[in-house]
């Protein structure tokens, strides 16, 4: 693809405003968003409606949504060229989600592993929104006729249900929705917790040592990586039973572009202390410029709000058209 030339594909993805983004969000999603935005028309959203499936204080939700929007700008996603907005600013999301609820089977929604995990984690608040969450996500995608949806591994099942719902709807009413394809990067699609490297790294984990936030400064990154759980073998290679080291190798590979064989060669004869120091240095080098840019953008709230408002207007124009078409197909009375 020539520099600046665009495909005619629509790329779309969202991130929940449920906390400060982590290294997992960055490598699993953001980096791909940035690269794909160079060649495609893109729509990126802050999923603040999804964020209320767990309890927030109103002030926290507002702050996190603004901050998440600032992160998207800090990544270099250009608001003039892409559509970047807050989900709650375009009410068609909730409307289409309701309609799609009626085209989703209880059984298929019950199979979502993330619902099962989250309902265990938030056992005191297993609300219906947590259950219908993937249907709202399907609405996010189908409103904009997205071709490709770059996500981390954990969202794959949600993309499958979005396709199933779209196929079912099209089967009844004709070709209304485009079927979206997931885009899951080869590297970085599953960054694991530093403390429990069987689980994904998550911004809502209660143990702050388990994740690296994009706001963590050098000292914090060094400490968190130093205390990452490994094994007693003290030999750096990618292998079975070495989840902690595999995860750090994956992170190092994402930062440096080196493959596992190169990393093994680089650390042959060296211990985990040296390896962890190198991983920390690579992470800091990757995140520091981004964090500086984020802080710079966050200091200009008026600019963020202007971008968000314009983004929502552009998004709503498309979303309205889709909803109008869907409502007509379903048989809502039009005047």
Residues near ligand TYM (CB under 6 A): 13-16, 24-25, 28-29, 47, 50, 137, 140-141, 149, 151-152, 154-155, 189-191, 200-201
Q: Which of 236, 203, 216 is nearest to 68 (CA)?
A: 203
Q: Listing from the earlier edge strand, what are the strands of the sheet with 83-86? A: 83-86, 41-47, 10-16, 148-150, 181-183
Q: Which of 31, 118, 224, 242 is catalytic?
A: 118
Judging by DSSP bridges, how do beta strands 10-16 and 41-47 pair with one another? parallel
In angstroms, give the least distance from the CB of 300 to ligand TYM: 24
Q: For this structure, is 203 an active site residue?
A: yes
Q: Which tokens belong to 75?
A: 């990544």
The terminus-to-terminus CA distance of the chain in angstroms comes to 46
Residue at shortest CB range from ligand TYM: 28
Q: What's the rounded Cα separation, in Å, for the pair 26 and 21?
A: 7
Closer to ligand TYM by Cβ: residue 79 or 152: 152
Provide the minimum distance between the beta carbon of 102 and ligand TYM in the complex, in angstroms, as a whole number: 19
Least CB distance to ligand TYM at residue 45 (A): 7
Q: Do 323 and 95 meet the contact criterion of CB atoms below 8 Å apart?
A: yes
How many other CB atoms are there within 10 angstroms of residue 81's CB atom? 12
Of residues 200, 224, 242, 276, which has the active-site annotation?
Answer: 200
- Residue 226 is among the residues annotated as catalytic for this protein: no
Helix (H, G, I), strand (E, B), or coil: what is residue 329? helix
CB of 93 to ligand TYM, least distance (A): 9
Q: Which is nearer to ligand TYM, 162 or 280 (CB)?
A: 162
Closer CB to ligand TYM, 215 or 235, in the complex: 215
Helix (H, G, I), strand (E, B) or coil at 86: strand
Query: Is position 6 annotated as part of the catalytic site?
Result: no
Nearer to ligand TYM (CB atom), residue 230 or residue 247? 247
Q: Indicate the residue among 50 and 267 with the shorter CB distance to ligand TYM.
A: 50
Report in angstroms how near the CB of residue 249 gets to ligand TYM at its nearest. Answer: 15
For residue 266, how many other CB atoms are within 10 A of its CB? Answer: 15
**Min separation Cβ 44 and ligand TYM, Å:** 9
Half-sphere exposure of 75 (CA within 13 A, CB side): 26
Q: Residue 307: is it exposed, middle or buried by C-beta count within 10 angstroms (0-12/13-18/19+)? A: buried
Closer residue to ligand TYM (CB): 249 or 267: 249
**Catalytic positions, written as ranges:** 118, 200, 203
């Amino acid at each position: 693809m020539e520099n600046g030339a665009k495909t005619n594909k629509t790329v779309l993805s969202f991130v929940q405003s449920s906390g400060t983004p982590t290294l997992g969000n960055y490598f699993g999603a953001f980096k791909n968003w940035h690269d794909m935005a160079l060649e495609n028309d893109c729509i990126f959203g802050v999923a603040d409606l999804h964020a209320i499936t767990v309890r927030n204080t109103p002030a926290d939700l507002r702050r996190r949504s603004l901050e998440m929007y600032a992160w998207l700008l800090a990544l270099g996603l250009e608001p003039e060229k892409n559509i970047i907005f807050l989900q709650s600013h375009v009410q068609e999301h909730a409307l289409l989600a309701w309609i799609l609820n009626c085209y989703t089977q209880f059984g298929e929604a019950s199979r979502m592993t993330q619902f099962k995990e989250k309902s265990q984690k938030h056992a005191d608040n297993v609300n219906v929104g947590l259950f219908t969450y993937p249907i709202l996500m399907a609405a996010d995608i189908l409103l904009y006729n997205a071709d490709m949806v770059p996500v981390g591994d954990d969202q794959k099942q949600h993309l499958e249900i979005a396709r199933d719902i779209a196929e079912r709807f099209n089967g009844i009413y004709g070709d209304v929705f485009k079927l979206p394809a997931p885009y899951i990067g080869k590297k970085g699609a599953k960054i694991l917790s530093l403390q429990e490297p069987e689980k994904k790294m998550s911004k809502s984990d209660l143990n702050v040592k388990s994740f690296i936030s994009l706001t963590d400064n050098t000292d914090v990154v060094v400490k968190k990586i130093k205390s990452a759980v490994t094994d007693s073998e003290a030999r750096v290679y990618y292998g079975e039973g070495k989840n902690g080291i595999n995860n750090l190798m994956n992170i190092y590979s994402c930062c440096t572009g080196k493959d596992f064989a190169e990393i093994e060669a680089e650390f042959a004869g060296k211990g985990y202390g040296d390896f962890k120091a190198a991983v920390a240095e690579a992470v800091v080098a990757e995140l520091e410029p981004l964090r500086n840019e984020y802080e710079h953008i966050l200091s200009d709230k008026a600019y963020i709000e202007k971008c968000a408002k314009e983004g929502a207007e552009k998004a709503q124009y498309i979303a309205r058209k889709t909803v109008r078409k869907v409502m007509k197909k379903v048989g809502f009375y039009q005047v």
